[in-house]
Amino acid sequence: MKIGIFGGSFNPPHLGHINALETVRRKIGLDKVFIVPNAQNPLKKVIDGPTSEQRVQMVGKAIEGYEKFYEVDNQEVTRGGLSYTIDTIKNYRQKYKAEELFLIIGADHLEALDKWKDYKNLLTETNIVVTTRPGYEFPHEFDELPTYLKDLTNEIEFNFLDLKSGRSIQFVTLNDVEVSSTELRKKLRTGRPVSKYLPLSVENYISELKLYRESGLKVKDYAQFAKFCAQFLNDKKAINVMGYDLTKMSAPSEYTLIASGTSTRHAISLAEGLTQVVKEEFNLLPQSVEGTHEGRWVVVDYGALIVHIFYDFVRQEYSLEKLWKDSQVLNLN
């Protein structure tokens, strides 16, 4: 038996996920793939959206007709709390041998795998299949490996790493479906077409339950909401807080704020503090939060308002203000 394990938030599950599953199953020769929606990724912030149970239901809808090869496993949602892959793999190891298990991840996750709980144990208990985009260069030399992998690898062959643990890492190139869950959520919230990205059953489920709708009752006036967020950033000693009205421009949001922290740590603290105070004041979670691991450029997305918080040196490098030089500057007083 060859058993695949494919985890993620699936918020929502889309045709890119199905494409990855089908490509890996065929190329690796997997007999069965278990799809495991997480409760909460420990490396990501909590965002607004469907419940864990609704995400499980959507995955079930997405694989209708594929049940011979795929099965939804809700063990992480049932456990609740932070979801750690090693705990899930240990459960599978009670039934399957390590050489039978293949954990499917993206190339971006491989780069940061050393941040996962017990990652060395993970590389002993399961094989890894890494999905890549066209143009991705497989590592051919030890110097091209992520630092943490160099001492764990015996040998490199084309698209295959032989690990000292007895397990392997294989690379599979996808004929990519250009879609991400983050962009898809934005399309759904703004009413843009999504049919070419979603299985019909998932699209119907989202429509029926009115998922991903903009929280109009929580924020009635986004200009005032921008001023609220700007006031918080100023109170927390952010540098040069600027706001822009983009309603007359072609932009992904109606309003935007730009602010700087004195360090990457300060930028991360500003973003975390902002999401907390907005949750307390408006009962609103962001649609996404990106960049909090490094703190060089943190993006907090509230749909009609996007907040960019930079380490000040990086802000000068990108000069986002030039993008909106023709927009109306918000009076934040």
Give 277-294 pLDDT, tens digit per residue. Answer: 998 888 888 888 999 888
- In the numeric block, which tokens belong to residue 206? 């989202």
C-alpha separations of 17 from 14, 62, 74, 181, 284 in Å: 6, 9, 17, 10, 28
Determine what percent of the chain is predicted with pLDDT higher than 90: 62
Q: Which fold has domain 3-173?
A: Rossmann fold (3.40.50)
> What is the rounded average pLDDT for all residues in the chain?
90
Strands (DSSP E) along 204-272, which ranges? 239-245, 255-261
Are 283 and 294 spatial neighbours (Cβ–Cβ below 8 Å)?
no
Residue 283 near residue 218, CB atoms below 8 Å: yes
Radius of gyration of the chain from Cα atoms? 22
pLDDT-derived band at 214, boundaries 50, 70, 90: low
* pLDDT 10s digits, 160-194: 999 999 999 999 998 867 778 888 887 887 777 88
The CATH-assigned architecture of domain 222-329 is 2-Layer Sandwich (3.30)
Nearest to 63 by CA among 54, 51, 72: 72
pLDDT at 33 over 90: yes
**219 or 126, higher pLDDT:** 126
C-beta of residue 209 within 8 angstroms of C-beta of residue 222: no
DSSP 164: T
The predicted pLDDT at position 324 comes to 87
- Residue 36 — pLDDT band, cuts 50, 70, 90? very high
Greatest mean pLDDT range, 45-54, 148-157, 170-179? 148-157
Q: Where in the chain is the domain with CATH 3.30.460.10?
A: 222-329
Numbers of helices and strands, H then E, in the chain? 12, 14
Confidence of residue 316 (pLDDT cuts 50, 70, 90): confident
Looking at 75-89, 153-167, 318-332, which range is the least confident one? 318-332
For 84, left (φ over 0), alpha (ψ -120 to 50), or beta?
beta
Q: Where in the chain is the domain with CATH 3.40.50.620?
A: 3-173
Token pair of 113 as six digits: 């795998």
12-21 average pLDDT score: 93
Nearest alpha carbon to residue 127 among 173, 70, 171, 67: 171
Flag whether pLDDT at 18 surpasses 80. yes
Predicted pLDDT at 296: 93
Q: What is the per-residue pLDDT for 252?
A: 80
- Report yes or no: 202 and 61 within 8 Å, Cβ to Cβ: yes
pLDDT at 139: 85
Query: DSSP characters for 264-319?
Result: HHHHHHHHHHHHHHHHHHH----SEEE-TTT-SEEEEE-SSEEEEEEEHHHHHHH-
CA dist., res. 139 & res. 216, Å (int): 48
Residue 43: predicted pLDDT = 66
Alpha-carbon distance of 186 to 333, in angstroms, equals 29
Q: In this predicted model, what pLDDT tens digit does every residue of 223-270 receive, in sequence order?
A: 999 999 999 999 999 999 999 999 888 888 899 999 999 999 999 999
* pLDDT, mean of residues 137-165: 91
